[in-house]
Amino acid sequence: MDLFCNKALVDKTSKSGDKMRLKSNSGSMLVNEKATIPGYKKKVWFSTKAITNIIALSNLIKQYRVTYDSNDLMFVVHCEPSKTSMEFRMHGSGLHYYDLRKEDNAQLAFVNTVAKNKLNFTKRQCKEAEVTRILYGTLDRPSLKDFKWIVRSHSIKDSPVTLDDVEVAVSIWGKNIDALKGKTTRKKSLPVSRDYVKVPKEMLKLHHEVFLTADIFFVNKIPFFLTLSRKICFTAVNHLANRTVPHIFKAFKEIYAYYLQRGFRITVLHADGEFAPLKVLIESMPGGPLVNLASANEHVPEIERRIRVVKERTRGSRHSLPFQRIPKLLTIHAHCVQQCQDA
């Protein structure tokens, strides 16, 4: 059987009338979709749950000539003269595979170009196919079914175009790009869901007054403003454009308003000596909290530990990304997404 899992290698997928139950040493999987591959006549089974793309040799030899090179231990699929042969080399496990990542395989054997497609027809057929394309555009690009009906019924008097010319034109150029772009409708987007969790009355009653801790940390010289509330244990991270007093004060006001909207009121802000220039601004706010600064050369232990937690979580997310370098904007959003609530 032929089974594919990579959407980039298939043209389109559709539900199949029959189903296939695939069993292996890793378990059982039900496949009920099929897909078409450019240059491959037989439809293949398709499932994103599969772990690799498989082409059966018994099906491949029905369309292409396949030879085996015992010196290099590989199957060679001989495509049309206008295409490059595909070499399925032996893996250490004994299976044969075709590596799509190699630079010399950038031009896949299953993908045709217009110039190579024309090599399959005579010059006269190609010239008549050009006339067919012009007529198709003049008729304002009807559907292929309607266009064939127009040609078959001789609706256009003295038209030199025949059904064979239409088939040749489709084989060389494929479906008309202008018609596809003009007739394809925009898919309905997913609605934006709003799911707000209501604060329990018991929590709001017991922890209405919030004791907040705050500090500034850096990642690749990018400053972030981090706050952590005691008892509620809610963490919030804001990106700072710089460490000036106005920017830090703006970040605090955003956090203050966020708590206020949910029914909480910040009464005490505990931070280190770095926040001394902000003490007057914060305490002069309407209903502003009392700013409690740590002693000289001292830090707030819980906020320092929370900074480490945020950095560790972000490093874990960074490790899962398939990139060698991370841009500044992605670094900022990766840390700011760490706004969470830990019970």
* Conformational region of residue 175, where left means phi above 0, alpha means psi within -120 to 50, and beta covers everything else: beta
pLDDT of 10 > 60? The answer is yes
CA 303 remoteness from chain centre: 35
Quick: pLDDT tens for 275-311.
999 999 999 998 889 999 988 878 889 999 999 999 9
The percent of the chain in helix, strand and coil, each rounded to the nearest 5, is: 35, 25, 40
Model confidence at 239, pLDDT cuts 50, 70, 90, reads very high
Distance CA 58, CA 64 (A): 11
Quick: pLDDT tens for 132-149.
999 998 888 888 899 999
Distance CA 115, CA 256 (A): 66
Model confidence at 271, pLDDT cuts 50, 70, 90, reads very high
pLDDT of 343 > 60? The answer is no
Ranked by mean pLDDT, the top range of 46-55, 100-109, 194-203 is 46-55
Cβ 163 vs Cβ 147: under 8 Å: no
* pLDDT at residue 109, rounded to an integer: 43
Q: Is 24 exposed, middle or buried (0-12, 13-18, 19+ CB in 10 A)?
A: exposed
Domains with residue ranges and CATH for the chain: 1-63 (no CATH), 69-112 (no CATH), 115-181 (no CATH), 201-341 (3.30.420.10)
| Average confidence score pLDDT of the chain | 85
Model confidence at 97, pLDDT cuts 50, 70, 90, reads confident
Model confidence at 48, pLDDT cuts 50, 70, 90, reads confident
Collapsing DSSP to helix, strand or coil, 135 comes out as helix
For residue 270, the surrounding DSSP H or E stretch is strand 265-271
Contacts of 341 (CB under 8 A, 6+ apart): 232, 233, 234, 235
Lowest mean pLDDT among 74-83, 227-236, 252-261, 313-322: 74-83
In 3D space, the residue among 6, 111, 1, 83 whose CA is nearest the CA of residue 45 turns out to be 1
* pLDDT at residue 107, rounded to an integer: 42
Q: Two tokens at 141? A: 């690009």
* pLDDT at residue 254, rounded to an integer: 92
Residues 4-10, mean pLDDT to the nearest whole number = 86
Residues 259-285, mean pLDDT to the nearest whole number = 90
Q: Two tokens at 224? A: 């972030």
Contacts of 86 (CB under 8 A, 6+ apart): 76, 77, 79, 98, 109
Model confidence at 49, pLDDT cuts 50, 70, 90, reads confident
* pLDDT at residue 102, rounded to an integer: 60
Quick: pLDDT tens for 157-183.
888 999 999 999 998 988 888 888 888
Cβ 53 vs Cβ 47: under 8 Å: no
